[in-house]
Structure 1
């Protein structure tokens, strides 16, 4: 269980870092770097976090077992317990991803500022509405990722600082720490569902696309036929045309 939680957590945070890298790459002025922001590259890198973190977290699988009397999955080696809880788990799941998010967030902000500065030049065209929406969405997503990760980093730093006093804590203190643990995990989890809502509220074009998709998907369009006014569509004949038809009637012959 510890191994599974460690692998999934580190892989999830890796995808957050990769998304931050993708935002930086697609806003770069270099065409070579922008080529890294593509579906082909994303498909190539998708299995790598799972494979990499599975290999890195193998010690969690080796030194974990059901520990009596509650038979909960925990570490069986005292040395690895200290290394895993104080070094590996905090750094790999919180601190390192936070540094990467902040780094690529700043780089993305610099790229967007550079693009805005270039577009403000007299000989350059202004940013289109779609570019402004993409800029707003990228900045909001990057800022939200950093904000949601900071509480978890603070909690991890706090638990490391009080690790020596863990044996002397009261039941109320342990309950408060567990509550803070659950809250910070929930806040971090907001990252993985926030992109859709950020795009939905920030981009009118995205909302229109979603509305069109739902309309076509669930057949919400009405198939009623509007009645036509026959008086407006009927063929009109003038008096001259009527007189001409009377004076020169057309003769139709039938074939035998």
Structure 2
């Protein structure tokens, strides 16, 4: 079953749309679904041109395709998603894939903040860049992503994979400040540069295939190791917080 949702142009296009109802399982009962623009509840067909091909008996057999020039205004798409697939033919707004536990979300543009926030399973593929707090917990929380995979083919912003507890996060470009801060499980891989990675980590593994700028002095250098055909420098730490995590970097620079 394929559900295609093409966004209609809107006069007040600066207002984001709360679209947590857009998850594959909700379309098993039809398209009588609502979204919110500000304080107005809108039918799906007031915001999108809707077309449906085929049918399905389970979420795993439902694919939702979002298109249009303003998909970046859609927030919370795929929240609590547990199966099926969502394809975004453009950018997407904040909190895409919140608490996701299964299925696949593929974004062909950029993703706004908190992509894959506190997800527990499934796969998110972002073909563009991801903004701050990708694959992280929420402000004040102690547990971020616990399972699944997030893969970003561009860059990621600050606080990538903050409080990561499980699963795998891969960024093919660089990342901003504090990647992997407060990690206590899982695996984070950054192919480019980042700054102050894995600060205050308790457990888990963080790999930086570029340069770790502002390297914290509370990591203990072990020596060179081979990983995935690369020679990396292994550190254990953060010794400011039990020192049980592992940080691997291609190169590093301490703060001046």
TM over 0.5: no
- Greater Rg over alpha carbons, structure: 1
TM norm structure 1: 0.17
Structure richer in strand, relative to its length: 2
- TM-score (structure 2 length as normaliser): 0.17
Higher relative contact order (CA 8 A, sep 6+): 1
Q: Indicate the structure with greater helix content.
A: 1
